[in-house]
Structure 1
């Protein structure tokens, strides 16, 4: 419930500062990572601290770090990795619109979807 309320607060904050893209009402809810590829843009939030935003899925180049409550859009997914675009300035200072790859396990969508597979990115290098 705390995560839902935090996500709702982030979504409302984002809506107050900018137009938030929404999935059409007739869209089917996203149930798994493979279904994300069919959705053009899904609002999502980071649900952990220190999540690495990478230049490629599983790549070694780290663009920056994301923190609980950073929000944006899921653009696609591949093998447990989600392509993510920031909807606003991140807690670590990354600018709005920065795009990269994060482990899907650290994301949750507005409709409650959360990747159920194992984390593909750990805090150990």
Structure 2
């Protein structure tokens, strides 16, 4: 069993800047990667992260909790939904997303975020 460990997003292990309008602060605690992502108004995955991911849609599995703001998610099959403050969500690979409105969207993601917002390796 892993030992006790505590970290704070005020001193993240890594900060991954998006191509404008936000960033992901990343912590690794007992081998588990968690991110706190900040998406500014006007952020859209297909504009601000597609150039980093180099995929047609987001291929990361997310499991998160929204702290503030709102986001619309559009799955590759056309299904859409919105998340906002106090919402918990599970999101499989194959989606686009965008901030709705003028408020920054902040969420904590416990999903498969080890490589989220990182350029693909050689």
TM-score by length of 2: 0.28
Instruction: Flag the structure with higher helix content.
Output: 1
Rg (Cα) greater in structure? 2
Write 1 or 2 for the structure with the bigger share of strand.
2
